[in-house]
Structure formats: structure tokens, C-alpha cells
Amino acid sequence: MAIKNIISIIITNYVFRRFLFFLLIIWIASTAIFLIPRLSGQDPVKEKLLLEAQRGGHMQAGLEEMAASYSAKFGLDKPLIVQYGNYMKDLVRFDFGPSIAYFPKSVNSLIGDSVVWTFGLLSVCTFLAFFIGTIAGALLGWPKSPNFLQYVFMPILTLAAIPYYLLALVLIYIFAFNLDWFPLFGGYAVAQLPEWSFSFIGQVIHHAILPASSIVLASLGFWALGMRGMMVTNQGEDFMIAAEAKGLRSIRLFFNYAVRNAILPQTTALALSLGTVFTGSVLVEVIFRYPGLGNTLYQAIKLNDFFVIRGMIFIVIVTLGLATFIIDVTYPLLDPRVSYKKGG
């Protein structure tokens, strides 16, 4: 009986159910990535190898070796279900095989080289956009804030509709090409090797300003619109009327009552927005030739380097799933109305 109880507690446990959902995301995504190439009836890896063999280009040396290891590794003659099992085994060990274009470099080392850049850029951008956008939205949805704010923020809100990379193209033309305030491309100066020094860090920041501003400017509106909507909804609630009747000061009403309640849905939106921010930034990185994941993905697509594409997409989905899981699990700590138990 005790065991039965424990099992039922585990199954109804909120954290456990979120974790199952996280596993489900990874399973569905990896299965889709496995099945799509089979459904299309083409084998990009084989095609790429053939193409390179015909060209007799710079990869001639590694070709034989690679083709052999490739067919041995994936056992392409074996039935689909065995291939699927092997593929899953590799994924669990985070082994994505070698890159085709940069053989014998592994997919993992290619991703490892670029992940720091993307992680740094996107975490700063997401934080800034969330912070500025939420404040802007709170002020826009507050009846006592000055009118001129409407005219300042409204044009920025419409930027929410525009993809990051269009803004990036405009910014690079104005501030890098015409005004020459910022470098045109790269993560640091061309002749520089990455090192831990103040001048290098300065360079990195100088290079990151334009890509970061295009991401922040274009994603501000999303946060501002959500926050404004919640502030407006809260306006007529009983707790606001009660607080106002108590004669609390306006600033206290704003922060402790209106903002405190409106900000909760914003944190849930944070989980869903991470994917949008990553996919949106891919082309920004390409345009600025920023040495991050997006640019590596773009190069892999151009070179038809399927292992790199697959490995990177898998890792991004795992990261997003994990971030969603963490935000879902911490959410009840922020909002006591959502309980950990089922049906809460």
C-alpha cells in the first residue's frame, strides 16, 4: 500500500509531470529529426559525399575513411528500427558524429567553439529587452503616467512586428557603413586572437553593440505589449480599488500592486520567448558574421553539413526544453496561486 501511495504521489507531482513533459519534447523532436530525412527519400550525407568526391576538392584525403566510418556507424543496410535505436543511443551520449565539411573535427567541438558567443549575446539581450520592455509596458498601461510616453514608445512597439535581421541590416548600414562608429562584422578584431585582457573584452563589447541593439530593439515591443495588456486588465480589479481607497501613495500602488501582479505572466512568456529569441538571432549573427551558433548553423546549411545541422538543432531543443522546465518548476514559487499539485 505504501508503494502504491508513493507512486501516486510521484505521478501527481507537479515537478515530475513537468520533467516527463521535458523528456517528451526531446523525444518528439529527435524522432522528427530522424524521420524527416527518411521521408524525403534523400540522404544528404551520401549526396554531400558524392558531390565532394566528384569535385575532388580539399576533402579527398578524409573521404574514404569517413564514408567507411559513416556506413559502419549508422549501419545503413540495417532495418529502420535498428537505425533508430542506434541514433537514439548516440543522442543520449551527446555524440553527433564528425562534421562533414570540417572532417575530422567533431560536431561537438564545432558547437563548443561557438556556444559561448551566442549564450553571452542572447542572455544579455534577453535580460535587457525584458527589463526595458516590461518597464515601458508598465508605464504605458498606467493611467497616471505622462502622455508623451505614448508618442515615445508607440513607434518602438511596432518594431515588435519586424524580424531582428531587417533591423540589423538597417543598423549596420547606418552606424557601421555610413557613420563608421562600430565595426562591420565579427566578434572581435580580425587579427586578434581571443585572450583574457581588458582590450580584448573592450573589443568584444564594441563588436556586440550593434547585433545586441538590433535584437533588443526588435524584441522590446513583445514585452511592452504583454505588460501593458496585463496592467490594463489589473486596473479594474478589486485589490487595486481597495488599495486606492486606503489612500496609498501612487508610487506604491504602481510598484507593489499593479506591477507586482502584472509581471507574473511575463515570466511564463519568458519560457516561450527563448526559442523565438534564438531563432530570431540566427540571421543577426549571419549578417554580423558573429562567431556564434547561428553563424555556424548558416555555414553548415551552406555546406550541406547535415550532422552539424542535426546536432545543433538537437542541442538547441534540449536547452530550450530545459529552460522551459526550470521556469515551469520555479513559477509556483513566484505565484502562490499556482500549486505544485495536479489541478492547481
Candidates 37, 120, 186, 265: give the one binding other proteins (CB under 8 A): 37
Contact at 8 Å (CB) between 222 and 265? Answer: no
Q: Dihedral (C-alpha) 66, 67, 70, 75: value to the nearest 10 degrees?
A: -160
Cβ closest to other proteins, residue 189 vs residue 232: 232
What burial class does residue 87 get, using C-beta atoms within 10 Å of its C-beta: 0-12 exposed, 13-18 middle, 19+ buried? middle
> Counting contacts by CB under 8 A, is residue 29 touching other proteins?
yes
**Which lies closer to other proteins via its Cβ, residue 175 or residue 200?**
175
Q: Quick one: 290 exposed, middle or buried, by C-beta within 10 A (0-12, 13-18, 19+)?
A: buried
Q: What angle do CA 156, 275, 273 make, to 5 degrees?
A: 45
The minimum distance between CB 263 and other proteins, in angstroms, equals 20
Q: 323 CB contacts (<8 Å, ≥6 apart)? A: 271, 274
Contact criterion met (CB below 8 Å) for 307 and 99: yes
- Tell me the window of 39-47, 86-94, 98-106, 197-205 that interacts with other proteins (CB under 8 A): 39-47
With contacts defined by CB under 8 A, name the span among 1-9, 21-29, 190-198, 203-211 that binds other proteins. Answer: 21-29
Give bridge partners of residue 157 from the DSSP assignment: none
CA 37 vs. chain centroid, Å, equals 24
Out of 282, 285, 293, 331, the residue judged to bind other proteins by CB under 8 A: 282
Task: Find the binder of other proteins among 9, 10, 15, 32 (CB under 8 A).
Answer: 32
Assess contact for 117 and 291: CB atoms under 8 A. yes
Cell numbers linked to 30: 529527435
* Residue of 88, 160, 248, 264 that binds other proteins (CB under 8 A): 160
Closer residue to other proteins (CB): 128 or 232: 232
d(CA 254, CA 240): 10
Q: Does 23 bind other proteins (CB under 8 A)?
A: no
Long-range contacts made by residues 292-298, C-beta under 8 angstroms, separation at least 24? 292/114, 292/115, 292/117, 292/118, 292/121, 292/187, 293/111, 293/114, 293/115, 293/117, 293/118, 294/118, 295/114, 296/110, 296/111, 296/113, 296/114
Q: Is 177 among the residues that bind other proteins (CB under 8 A)?
A: yes
Stretch that binds other proteins, among 40-48, 114-122, 125-133, 241-249 (CB under 8 A): 40-48
- Copy the grid coordinates of residue 252: 506604491
Instruction: Supply the minimum distance, in Å, between the C-beta of residue 50 and other proteins.
Output: 13
Binding string, residues 54-93; x marks residues near other proteins by CB under 8 A: ----------------------------------------
- The yes or no reply on residue 33 touching other proteins (CB under 8 A) is yes
Contacting other proteins within 233-272 (CB under 8 A):
235, 272
Per CB under 8 A, the list member of 5, 54, 147, 158 interacting with other proteins is 158
Residue 189 binds to other proteins (criterion: CB under 8 A) = no
Minimum CB–partner distance for residue 195 and other proteins (Å)? 28
Contacting residue, 83, 213, 268, 279, with other proteins by CB under 8 A = 279
Phi, psi (deg, nearest 5) at residue 98: -85, 155
Site for other proteins, rule CB under 8 A: 21, 24-25, 28-29, 32-33, 36-37, 40, 42, 44, 158, 160-163, 165-166, 169-170, 172-173, 177, 184, 232, 235, 272, 275-276, 278-279, 282-283, 286-287, 297-298, 301-302, 304, 306, 309-310, 313, 316-317, 320-321, 324
